[in-house]
Amino acid sequence: MKTVIISNRLPVKIIEKNNEYTFIPSEGGLATGLGDVYKTGNSIWIGWPGIEIPEERQEEVIQKLGELNLYPVFLTQEEINLYYEGFSNEILWPVFHYLVTYAHYEQTYWDCYKSVNEKFAKSAMQVLSRSDKIWIQDYQLLLLPGILREKLPNSTIGFFQHIPFPSYEIFRLIPWREELLSGLIGADLIGFHTYDDVRHFISTATRLLLVNSSSNVLNSNERQIVIEAFPMGIDYDKFSSFTTTETVQREISNFKTGKEGVKIILSIDRLDYSKGILERLRALELLLQIHPEYIGKIELFMIVVPSRDTVPQYSELREQIDQLVGNINARYRSMDWIPVNYFYRSFPIEVLSALYSSADICLVTPMRDGMNLVSKEYVASRNNNDGVLILSEMAGASKELMDALIVNPNNLGDIMEAIVIALKMPLEEQQHRMKAMRATVEKFNVNHWVNNFILKLNEVKESQKSLLTK
C-alpha cells in the first residue's frame, strides 16, 4: 500500500536549455512544504512538470521522473492557458482570496478545468492500486475527488487545500459553484489550514448542496465526510541547522559587510497580488516620509519570485512594483545608501537562509494567505532568538504565531508603526517573543502536519467501514 499524492504541479519543474531537460525545485508553499516529505515514505507524486512536453519526448520524461518517484501529467499549451492560467488562476485564485473583481468567468475555462481534472484521474489510474491512499492537493483539482470516487468507490481519498476557503457570500458568486463542491466531497477527509476555512466550507456546502452537517461532519449519500483544520508546518530542523553551515555563514558575513549600523528588513514572496507587495512598499515610503530619522538607517531587501507572469494581472503587478521601487529609490537614496534592494528572481536556499539569519525584521503582510510559510521559515532560522516578525492578520500563520507584531495589511499606518516598534524593540522582548514562536514552529512542523492528516484519514475510513457493517 502506498500514498499517492496528486497536485497540479510536481515538486520539481522542467527547464529546457539547448534541447536538454533539467529539473529544478518548484516554487510556492505546497512544493516547498511537502517537497521533501514525500521522499521519506512509500509514496509517489503525480503532477504537471511545468512546461509543455512534445509527445516524442514524453517517454524520456516519464523515465527520468520515475527515478524520483514522480509521475507526470502532460498538459498541452491550450490546457495550460485555459485550465491553469484561466480557471485556476483567473477565477479560483482571486475569488478564494476575496479579490472578486479580478475574476473572469469564462465558459471555456470551465470546460477545460473539467477535462483536465479528468486527465489527472486518467493518469492516476495508471499508477493506483486498489489499496492505495490518495492525497489530492489544492484548488486546481477540486473535481478530482469526485471523479476518482466514481472510478474507485471504496478508495481512501484525502484532500487538502493550501489557500483560504472564502465565506459563502463570496463562494456563491462562482457560476459553477455546486459542481465544484460536489467534486470536492468525493473525498473522505477535507483539510484546510485554519478553523475559519473549515467553518466557511461547512456553511457553504450545507447551503449550496443541501446536505446535513453535525459539528465538522457532512452527511452525503450515506457517506460521512470529515472537515478539519490542519495548519501546515515547515521542516524546522532543516532551516534551523542550515544557518550554521559553512556556506551560509560565509553568505551571512558577505551580506553584512558594509551594513554596520543599518537595520535590515526582509520580504520574500512569489509575485502575487494577494501578497500585499505594493502596500508594503507604500508603508515603507510612509515611514521614510514621517520618520526621516530612519533615512540611511534601514534597508528593505525585497525578493519577489517570478510566478504566473503570463496571467495579465501578474505582469501588470510586476510593472507596478518596478515603478514604485524606482520612485522610492529615486526619491530617498543617497550616493552610498539605497532604501529598497529589489530582486525579481528566485534564490538557492543557502542565500535565503543567510537573509533570514541576517534580517532584523521580517515583513510578511499578505492581503490574504492560506498559511504563509515564509513567516515560519524566518522564525526557524533565528537560532539566537532575536529578530522581529511583522505578520498580517489575514495570513493563516497569524493564528499560531501570536507573538509576532500582528497588523492589518490594508492599514499602512499600522504597518509603519509596527516597523517603528520593531526597530526600537529591546532585545529581551524580541527573545521572549521569538522563543515562544520557535517552540510552536518546532513542535507543529511539517512531519507533524503529514502524520496528523494521514492518521485522521485512516481514522475516518475506519469509522466509515464500521458504519457500513452496522
- Which residues are near ligand G6P by CB under 6 A? 9, 27-30, 138, 162-163, 307-308
By beta-carbon distance, which residue lies closest to ligand G6P? 28
Task: Note whether 299 and 423 are within 8 A (CB).
Answer: no
Please say which residue, 163 or 300, places its beta carbon nearer to ligand G6P.
Answer: 163
Q: How far apart are CA 451 and CA 449, in angstroms?
A: 6
Shortest distance (Å) from residue 228 CB to ligand G6P: 18
Q: Does the annotation count 162 as an active-site position?
A: yes
Q: Does the annotation count 197 as an active-site position?
A: no
Shortest distance (Å) from residue 440 CB to ligand G6P: 21
Shortest distance (Å) from residue 453 CB to ligand G6P: 16
Please say which residue, 25 or 296, places its beta carbon nearer to ligand G6P.
Answer: 25
Please say which residue, 138 or 188, places its beta carbon nearer to ligand G6P.
Answer: 138
Closest CA to 112 of 89, 142, 80: 80
Shortest distance (Å) from residue 308 CB to ligand G6P: 5
* Amino acid occupying residue 118: E
Question: Which residue in the block uniquely carries the three cell numbers 487545500?
Answer: 161
Shortest distance (Å) from residue 162 CB to ligand G6P: 4
* Residue of 97, 162, 193, 200 marked active site: 162
* Amino acid occupying residue 164: P
Please say which residue, 161 or 358, places its beta carbon nearer to ligand G6P.
Answer: 161
Please say which residue, 14 or 30, places its beta carbon nearer to ligand G6P.
Answer: 30
Please say which residue, 88 or 358, places its beta carbon nearer to ligand G6P.
Answer: 88
Shortest distance (Å) from residue 139 CB to ligand G6P: 7
* Residue of 188, 235, 272, 369 marked active site: 369
Residues marked as catalytic: 162, 369
